[in-house]
Amino acid sequence: MKSSFDEKILDEAHDWASSNQKVVLATVIQTWGSSPRQVGSRMVVNEKGDFSGSVSGGCVESAVVRECIELIKENKPCKKIEFKVSNESAWEIGLACGGEIAIYLEQIN
Amino acid sequence: MKLETLKEILKKKSSKTEFAIITNLKNGVSEIFEPGKSLSEEFENYKKYIENFFSLKKNGVIENSEIFVETYIRPIKVVVVGAVHIAQYIVDFAKSLNFEISIIDPRGYFASEQRFPDMKIINKWPDEAFKEIKTNENSALIALTHDPKIDDPALQHALNNKFYYIGALGSKKTHENRCQRLKESGFNEEQINSIHGPIGIKLGGKSAPEIALSIISQLISETYKK
């Protein structure tokens, strides 16, 4: 069995979007090496920065929220972002586990 | 993604249909793939690859393309025999997992709506109840009554239909007796050994939620071995 267990993020995205919030879905579309969440893992983010779900173990979520808010502000339909291994001493956003992930952001409209 | 597409996805999920969401990462256009259904021009050229992802139940980007495929599988059917205290917690845990629970209990005082709100409980003996549930080798059985009159027919049904997970509550002694009865009913050693008894992984807990957690953990572990 390969598919992940259901996390109901799409239900939340639907509820938020149906209550006239501007909503972005962030989905893990590719992973390389050791990454905390598998392909298909999701987060939903609104214009205020409220979010639900996850695309990593907490390593890149804050950056994803910022990117999502920007996407709403610029009113772009979609965008692909990538995160690579972090340099811990520099406090940059990245994955401490040494993996790389590609995340796809898309507005619900 | 369009809100309409999202609505359609949720509808398909609640009707337990298997499908895939396909997205063109370049422009954000997405649509639902179902076997036998024609695709729009946007995705038609990738049909072969999409079908391949779908049959492997795989998520990912099609090589040398900008097409992302995400496959949705039907939830796994789990039949719980015995609307007992542990079953209440199993239902709670299963809510956040991809399991579809059915409960069988011929004893009306256990199978009450007040004890299991929003749950369909089949208030019949297992032989009758299984006529209402379609099961196959992708189904699981959790037998919790440790009453041979109720558990045994359910275990026999699960063995005959090759359920991928069969677990039965009860002490080692209870399980030994159960195995003996199944042997006398004509089941072979391999079949009898496939039953997880005493049920659950060893967590050490004794309370109803702890036992429920140990059962669900074993079920998940066996699900990923499939």
B138, amino acid identity:
N
Decide if pLDDT at A86 tops 80.
no
Decide if pLDDT at A6 tops 80.
no
* CB contact B203 to A (< 8 Å): no
Per DSSP, the three-state class of B17 is coil
Tell me the CATH number for domain B76-225: 3.40.50.720
CB B121 within 8 A of CB B105: yes
Quick one: DSSP state of residue A39?
T
Angstrom distance (rounded) from CA A3 to CA B58: 7
The DSSP code sequence of B165-186 is EEEE-S-HHHHHHHHHHHHHTT
Beta strand pairing call for B60-61 and B67-72: antiparallel
User: Residue B98's pLDDT is what?
Assistant: 83
User: Residue A1's pLDDT is what?
Assistant: 43
User: Residue B16's pLDDT is what?
Assistant: 82
Q: Give residue limits of the domains in chain B.
A: 3-72, 76-225
User: Residue A2's pLDDT is what?
Assistant: 42
Nearest to A104 among B25, B72, B96 (CB): B25
User: Across the interface, do B73 and A3 touch by the CB < 8 Å criterion?
Assistant: yes
CB B107 within 8 A of CB B125: no
Quick one: DSSP state of residue A88?
G
Question: Could you read off the pLDDT of A15-63 as tens digits, one per residue?
Answer: 999 999 999 999 999 998 877 788 999 999 999 999 999 998 888 899 9
Give B3-11's long-range contacts (Cβ < 8 A, gap of 24+).
B3/A14, B3/A17, B3/A18, B3/A108, B3/A109, B5/B30, B5/B31, B5/B32, B6/A10, B6/A13, B6/A14, B6/A17, B6/A108, B7/A14, B8/B32, B9/A10, B9/B72, B10/A10, B10/A11, B10/A14
Q: Residues with Cβ < 8 Å from B114, sequence gap 6 or more? A: none
Question: Could you read off the pLDDT of A52-85 as tens digits, one per residue?
Answer: 999 988 888 999 999 999 999 999 999 999 987 6
User: Residue A90's pLDDT is what?
Assistant: 42
Q: Which two tokens stand for residue A34?
A: 């050791």
Q: Could you tell me the pLDDT band of residue A96, with boundaries at 50, 70 and 90? A: low
Is B217 exposed, middle or buried (CB count within 10 Å of its CB: 0-12, 13-18, 19+)?
middle
User: Which of the residues B4, B5, B6, B8 would you substitute to probe the A interface, choosing the one with the greatest number of A C-beta atoms within 10 Å?
Assistant: B6
Question: Would you give per-residue pLDDT tens digits along chain B (226 residues)?
Answer: 999 999 999 999 888 889 999 999 999 999 999 998 899 999 999 999 999 999 998 899 999 999 999 998 888 899 999 999 999 999 999 888 889 999 999 998 998 888 998 888 999 999 999 999 999 999 999 999 999 999 999 999 999 999 999 999 999 999 999 999 999 999 999 999 999 999 999 999 999 999 999 999 999 999 988 7
- The alpha carbon of residue B55 and the mean position of all alpha carbons in its chain are separated, in whole angstroms, by 19
Intra-chain end-to-end CA distance of chain A, in Å:
33
This model of the complex carries an ipTM of 0.85
User: Across the interface, do A29 and B25 touch by the CB < 8 Å criterion?
Assistant: yes
Q: Could you tell me the pLDDT band of residue A89, with boundaries at 50, 70 and 90? A: very low
Residue B13: its chain A contacts at CB < 8 A? Answer: 6, 10
Nearest to A25 among B1, B7, B223 (CB): B1
Q: Could you tell me the pLDDT band of residue A95, with boundaries at 50, 70 and 90? A: low
Angstrom distance (rounded) from CA B206 to CA B209: 8
In 3D space, the residue among B144, B138, B200, B187 whose CA is nearest the CA of residue B164 turns out to be B138
Q: Could you tell me the pLDDT band of residue A5, with boundaries at 50, 70 and 90? A: low
Angstrom distance (rounded) from CA A80 to CA A67: 10
* CB contact B23 to A (< 8 Å): yes
Quick one: DSSP state of residue B62?
P
